[in-house]
Amino acid sequence: MSRTILITGAGSGFGRGVSFELARRGHRVIAGCQIWPQVTELRQALKAEGLSAEVIKLDVLNEIDRNKALGLDIDVLFNNAGIMESGPMVEIPMSVFRSVFETNVFAALELAQGFGKAMVKRGAGRIVWTSSVAGLVKVPFDGAYAASKHAVEGICSALREELAPYGVQVVTINPGAYRTGFNDTGMEAMDQWWAQGERVVDHWPVRELNRQHDPVEMVATMVEVIEAEHPAYRTVRPAVAEEMVRREQAEVWDLKV
């Protein structure tokens, strides 16, 4: 069955891949991009492949953009836009920490509230939220991002039960490390501010991100969750990440400091 799906963060990474694949499968895709150059480029790329999709400017932090998007009539909101900022918790500037929450939590929740109310009135709809493995386990030196995704988990668990009686589904997708460039730039981001003050702990140990997975798997999983009649509430990929999450969540009950 064809659906109308709004995808945030469609200018790159998972959002871009999902936009292309859903368009290929005949859905009405509304791909939201943060900046105008992304809008232009994505329109051209879709056209080059003979695909039909509506590409809009949707900077989730921009109230004007959000309000315009909230005028759309959609079946599925794919709350996918997000940012990652690394750094030890005792060093990361509060302005940086707040910026992560503004994008990953507050702006996304505003969209979920707006579309969620419309879905309740209609008695149907689905909110698919890109969380992260980082929302389920500890992530040293990436605590800001992990904290934002833990917040997403809390929001979605409440939202799911609150909206279920009205026919609105809420599900999460929890990617591990995939080769989209997101993790690479997120790790590098702390170098922007690291030298701008006295530091009392060591810099994140330099390491190559050479164990990331092919994003094709994650894109296919996201499409499956969006299309499924009754998807799982939580979907973790890759399988090794799900095993790690289950193990770490069990271990924390016996952890001593």
pLDDT at 146: 98
How do residues 83-100 score in pLDDT, each as one tens digit?
999 999 999 999 999 999
pLDDT at position 196: 95
Residue 41, pLDDT above cutoff 80 = yes
Mean pLDDT of the chain: 97
Q: What is the pLDDT of residue 205?
A: 84
234 forms beta bridges with: 172
pLDDT in tens, 9-26: 999 999 999 999 999 999
Q: Phi-psi bin for 13: left (phi > 0), alpha (psi -120 to 50), beta? A: left
Q: What is the pLDDT of residues 184-193, one digit of tens each?
A: 999 999 999 9
User: How many C-beta atoms surround the C-beta of residue 249 within 10 A?
Assistant: 11
pLDDT for position 76: 98
CATH fold for domain 4-254 = Rossmann fold (3.40.50)
Active site residue 178: no
Phi and psi based region of residue 181 (left: phi greater than 0; alpha: psi -120 to 50; beta: remaining): left
Annotated domain spans of the chain:
4-254
With bands split at pLDDT 50, 70 and 90, how would you rate the model's confidence at 209?
Answer: confident
Cβ neighbours for 170, distance < 8 A, ≥ 6 positions apart: 126, 127, 129, 156, 159, 160, 163, 164, 233
Instruction: Evaluate if residue 173 carries a pLDDT over 90.
Output: yes
**Percent of the chain's residues with pLDDT above 90:** 96
User: Which residues does 201 contact at the CB level (< 8 Å), separation at least 6?
Assistant: 88, 90, 91
Q: Sorting pLDDT into bands at 50, 70 and 90, what band is 1?
A: confident
Among 26, 122, 27, which Cα is nearest to 73's? 122
Region 161-180: mean pLDDT is 97
Q: Would the pLDDT of 69 be above 90? A: yes
Residue 90 is predicted with a pLDDT of: 97
- Tens digits of per-residue pLDDT, 213-232? 999 999 999 999 999 999 99
- Write out the two tokens for 44: 């051209």
Selecting among 145, 166, 178, 233, the annotated active-site residue is: 145
pLDDT band of 210, cuts 50, 70, 90: confident
How far apart CA 108 and CA 113 sit, in angstroms, is 9
Instruction: Dump pLDDT digits (tens) for 174-184.
Output: 999 999 999 99
Over 80: is that where the pLDDT of 206 sits? Answer: no
Which among 42, 34, 37 is positioned nearest to 16, based on CA atoms?
42
Judged by phi (left if over 0) then psi (alpha if -120 to 50, else beta), residue 167 lies in: left
**Residue 114 and residue 117: Cα distance in Å, rounded?**
6
Whether residue 208 is predicted with pLDDT greater than 80 in this model: the reply is: no
Q: Please state the pTM of the whole predicted model.
A: 0.96
Please list, in sequence order, all residues whose beta carbon lies within 8 angstroms of the beta carbon of residue 197, skipping any fewer than 6 positions away: none
Neighbouring residues of 162: CB distance < 8 A, sequence distance ≥ 6: none
* Res. 235: pLDDT tops 90: yes
